[in-house]
Structure 1
């Protein structure tokens, strides 16, 4: 329901799709960054 109202107010599905893609990209980037940080920390602890 909320998404439907949002969609009508902000001009259709394209904006919603772009927003979803953007958030997905941000989440993916954060996940990669965090996993890389954990990996480097593990290596530093092992040495």
Structure 2
């Protein structure tokens, strides 16, 4: 439950979300192979295209 509250906080503040995404993109290659989903997500993050 605490995790979801933290995630809600990150998603509700654009500057916090950008900082988190930047950090994950930098450490994506350093994440252990035991968490492949998080590792792949961190390595391929990009801004969405708006129409």
The alignment's TM-score, normalised by the length of structure 1, stands at 0.32
Bigger relative contact order, structure 1 or 2 (CA pairs below 8 A, ≥6 apart): 2
- Pick the structure with greater CA Rg: 1
Q: Where is the helix percentage greater, Structure 1 or Structure 2?
A: 1
